[in-house]
Amino acid sequence: MEQIVASLRDEGFRITPQRMAIVDYLLKTEDHPSADHIHKVVRKRYPMISLSTVYKTLYLLKEKNLVNEIEVEGESRFDAHTDDHINIVCIKCGKIDDVDEETLKDIQVKAAKKSKYLILKSSFELHGYCSSCKSKMK
């Protein structure tokens, strides 16, 4: 949190309480929320905040590589977990979970061996049904 705020401040950005609230929420949540969802949450504390402020802040954070944007079913979702990891996406309810990094490391090691590439970063998604959607399918 402090790092993010310091890096934004270094860039000459005004750190408003609204922006802080957006960063704070993104860091605390395990979800991969949409801008709409973040707007709803932050608006409870800061009723004056507009959706465009939320978008501006998110794209600013993205530009600084502090959040990742993932597109799911045409909707942008935001992830403050910027270490390499796999996002697993439910195509039914839109829930997104993280898969542990070890799994991704295994894939990277195998892919590097096979292709003889030096792999620097990776991002990918798995799509399917989450456990609760899966159980409703029967």
Q: Shortest gap between Cβ of 59 and Zn ion (angstroms)?
A: 18
Compare residues 37 and 92 and give the one whose CB is closer to Zn ion. 92
DSSP states of 54-119 as a string?
HHHHHHHHHHTTSSEEEEETTEEEEES--SS-EEEEETTT--EEEEPHHHHHHHHHHHHHHH----
Q: Shortest gap between Cβ of 24 and Zn ion (angstroms)?
A: 18
**Residue 76 structure tokens:** 């942008």
Contact 80, 27 (CB under 8 A): yes
Q: Shortest gap between Cβ of 77 and Zn ion (angstroms)?
A: 9
Compare residues 107 and 133 and give the one whose CB is closer to Zn ion. 133
Compare residues 50 and 131 and give the one whose CB is closer to Zn ion. 131
- Residues at the contact surface with Zn ion, assessed by CB under 5 A: 79, 81, 87, 90, 92-93, 95, 98, 130, 133
Q: Shortest gap between Cβ of 135 and Zn ion (angstroms)?
A: 10
Contact 75, 59 (CB under 8 A): no
